[in-house]
């Protein structure tokens, strides 16, 4: 399969802090199929190479505070810079489940991007208020909503082609949640 799956993590509620830049309605937990990420990365520049997981596994793209019908918020709090050492307790697990497929980028660049763009916005919520808490929550959500297992329960297996609606129906049937799927196709 190809694509990216998004599911709402939080209850639909409006969060508003004293800063409008952190105003959001839901948190969207996003997973991606690394082979698709690799395909689009190499399509941009054929000399790009990829760092793919050993097994065919979905990996985390991010946990994104989102306003209904809008993008963002993003890059909310520059006073919360990325600190790779804060991830030491979970780094080994991150290297397997939240991988940077784009080989050749600077160490920690993907995690830094996710934290500065999305984590600093979600940090207004106590359960996500630190870098470690933010990334740990993503890891917990992957364990709970692992798309490989969800899709397998609906008899959707890697290497086969399925209509998009089949994916959406499978997620709803197994999890009782509505998903959004973004598909990338070969030209």
Per residue in 18-49, pLDDT (tens digit) is 344 678 999 999 999 998 888 888 888 888 88
Tell me the per-residue pLDDT of 50-100, one tens digit each, with 9 for 90 and over.
888 878 899 999 999 999 999 899 999 999 999 999 999 999 999 999 999
Active site residue 93: no
Query: Is-contact 2 151, C-beta < 8 A?
Result: no
Q: How do residues 97-154 score in pLDDT, each as one tens digit?
A: 999 988 777 889 999 999 999 999 999 999 999 999 999 999 999 999 999 999 999 9
Say how far apart CA 31 and CA 49 lie, in whole Å: 20
32 is catalytic: no
Task: Tell me if residue 118 is catalytic.
Answer: yes
Residue of 61, 69, 102, 144 with catalytic role: 61
Distances (CA, A) of 65 to 53, 78, 117, 145, 183: 27, 16, 10, 18, 22
Q: Is residue 187 part of a domain?
A: no
Q: Which of 32, 57, 102, 118 is catalytic?
A: 118
Q: Give the pLDDT of residue 52.
A: 87
Q: What is the pLDDT of residue 184?
A: 79
Supply the range of the domain harboring residue 155.
Answer: 4-182
Question: Residue 21 maps to which CATH number?
Answer: 3.90.730.10
pLDDT band, residue 9 (cuts 50/70/90): very low
Helices (DSSP H) in 45-83: which residue ranges? Answer: none
Name the domain count of the chain.
1
For residue 107, the model assigns a pLDDT of 81
Q: Which residues contact 40 (CB under 8 A, 6 or more apart)?
A: 184
């Amino acid at each position: 399969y190809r694509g990216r799956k998004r599911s709402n993590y939080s209850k639909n509620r409006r969060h508003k802090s004293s800063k409008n830049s952190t105003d959001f309605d839901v948190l969207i937990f996003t997973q991606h199929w690394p082979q698709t990420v690799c395909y689009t990365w190499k399509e941009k520049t054929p000399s790009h190479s990829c760092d793919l997981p050993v097994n065919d596994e979905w990996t985390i793209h991010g946990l994104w505070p989102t306003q209904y019908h809008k993008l963002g918020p993003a890059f909310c709090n520059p006073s919360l810079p990325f600190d790779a050492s804060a991830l030491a307790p979970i780094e080994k697990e991150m290297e397997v489940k939240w991988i940077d497929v784009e080989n050749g980028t600077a160490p920690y660049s993907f995690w830094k991007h996710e934290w500065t763009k999305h984590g600093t916005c979600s940090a207004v919520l106590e359960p996500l208020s630190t870098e470690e808490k933010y990334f740990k929550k993503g890891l917990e959500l992957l364990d709970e909503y692992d798309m490989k297992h969800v899709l397998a329960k609906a008899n959707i297996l890697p290497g086969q082609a399925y209509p998009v609606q089949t994916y959406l129906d499978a997620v709803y049937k197994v999890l009782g949640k509505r998903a959004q799927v973004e598909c990338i196709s070969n030209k």
